[in-house]
């Protein structure tokens, strides 16, 4: 009986060791639901030249990108706190903290605040751009899969709050944990590979009395729905969107009593997961309630009103 049990134990151990060194080992390293609380923004770049190619043969990556970017809905969500989780059991081997964490554009500050975890099979996972002082583990700590280690931030080379998750093999070569038709390796490293959410949705929208800077929209300052003819010279509609694609037709119709005053049309030139769009008009001279209809590829996404006093 003892021998049989030991034999079973050895078999289990062998099986586990094989699993840890091979595929299907990582949990998605964020708390919440993919496509609701966090979104895949950029994949690993499989093109070794100056072009780009993601694992699915698309262009949802950027040149030389060596990890996966998971974005969250923005700075409000970051302030509330989105937990970063250990993707598998391991030991914390490196931590950097204390860097500015509200970066809104590309810069030369690299990883920012980060954690690195060495796993039992010798692979290392990196968790970059973390929120300052949110790291809740120390170098040398053993962590288990799904354990909170920090929160999402925007430190280092970051333009919005996101987690750059990177996997390095035993030779410290970065690899893509996803599988797809354009990857060298056909098996993914996820326990359950997260899906890209391409649903076109408005996360937030509003009006401001000026042509905005991206910074001001990201921080959500001065949003209003009431304007004064004698003070305000323009009205700007903005929307924060998920799921836009290259060459989508964005249209804003400005209406008074359902009569179109003017229409602004724009062809989109980007394909990141979350994007800010804005469109403005000189302040019309007719007071009252105005409606703004916003559509993408002729499908109405939102109707919003503002008041002109
Ligand atoms: Zn990245």
Q: What is the mean pLDDT of residues 257-280?
A: 87
Confidence band of 271 (pLDDT split at 50, 70, 90): low
What's the gap in Å between 68 CA and the centre of ligand 1?
6
What's the gap in Å between 166 CA and the centre of ligand 1?
8
Contact assessment for residue 264 and residue 222, using Cβ atoms and an 8 Å cutoff = no
Q: Cα separations (Å) of 167 from 26, 84, 143, 253? A: 10, 15, 17, 46
Q: Whole-number mean pLDDT of the chain?
A: 88
Contact assessment for residue 50 and residue 64, using Cβ atoms and an 8 Å cutoff = no
What's the gap in Å between 303 CA and the centre of ligand 1?
35
pLDDT, tens digit (0-9, with 9 covering 90-100), for 154-173: 999 998 899 999 999 999 99
Residue 228 to residue 251: CA distance in whole angstroms: 25
Confidence band of 81 (pLDDT split at 50, 70, 90): very high
Instruction: Output the pTM of the full model.
Output: 0.79
What's the gap in Å between 69 CA and the centre of ligand 1?
5
Residue 40: HSE in the Cβ half-sphere, 13 Å Cα cutoff: 21
User: Would you state the CATH architecture of domain 24-175?
Assistant: Distorted Sandwich (2.70)
Domain boundaries, the chain: 24-175, 201-308
Contact assessment for residue 157 and residue 106, using Cβ atoms and an 8 Å cutoff = yes
Look at residue 80 and give its three-state secondary structure: helix
Ion ligand 1 neighbours (CB, 5 A) are 67, 69, 164
Residue 23 to residue 173: CA distance in whole angstroms: 16
What's the gap in Å between 140 CA and the centre of ligand 1?
25
What's the gap in Å between 78 CA and the centre of ligand 1?
17
> Does residue 13 register a pLDDT over 60?
no
* pLDDT value for 273: 67
Residue 154 to residue 156: CA distance in whole angstroms: 7
Nearest Cα neighbor of 55 from 235, 193, 234, 178 is: 178
> Does residue 181 register a pLDDT over 80?
yes
User: Would you state the CATH architecture of domain 201-308?
Assistant: Sandwich (2.60)
What's the gap in Å between 104 CA and the centre of ligand 1?
14
């Amino acid at each position: 009986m003892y021998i049989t049990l030991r034999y079973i134990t050895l078999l289990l151990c062998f099986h586990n060791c094989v699993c840890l060194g091979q595929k299907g080992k990582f949990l998605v390293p964020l708390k919440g639901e993919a496509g609701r609380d966090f979104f895949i923004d950029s994949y690993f770049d499989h093109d070794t030249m100056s072009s780009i190619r993601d694992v699915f043969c698309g262009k949802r990556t950027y040149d030389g990108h060596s990890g996966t970017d998971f974005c969250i809905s923005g700075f409000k969500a970051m302030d509330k706190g989105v937990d970063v989780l250990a993707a598998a059991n391991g030991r914390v081997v490196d931590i950097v903290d204390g860097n500015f964490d509200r970066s809104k554009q590309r810069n030369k500050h690299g990883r920012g605040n980060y954690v690195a975890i060495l796993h039992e099979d010798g692979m290392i996972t990196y968790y970059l751009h973390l929120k300052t002082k949110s790291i809740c583990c120390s170098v040398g700590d053993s962590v288990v899969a799904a354990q909170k280690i920090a929160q999402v931030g925007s430190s280092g080379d970051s333009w919005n709050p996101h987690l750059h998750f990177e996997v390095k093999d035993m030779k410290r070569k970065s690899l893509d944990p996803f599988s797809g038709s354009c990857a060298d390796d056909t098996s993914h490293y996820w326990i359950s590979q997260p899906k890209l959410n391409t649903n076109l949705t408005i996360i937030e929208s509003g009006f401001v009395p000026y042509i905005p800077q991206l910074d001001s929209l990201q921080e959500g300052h001065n949003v209003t729905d009431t304007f004064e003819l004698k003070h305000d010279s323009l009205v700007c509609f903005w929307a924060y969107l998920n799921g836009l694609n290259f060459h989508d037709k964005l249209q804003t119709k400005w209406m008074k009593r359902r009569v179109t005053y003017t229409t602004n049309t724009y062809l989109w030139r980007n394909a990141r997961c979350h994007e800010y769009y804005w469109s403005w008009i000189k302040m019309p001279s007719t007071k009252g309630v105005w409606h703004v209809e916003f559509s993408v590829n002729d499908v109405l996404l939102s109707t919003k009103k503002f008041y002109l006093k």
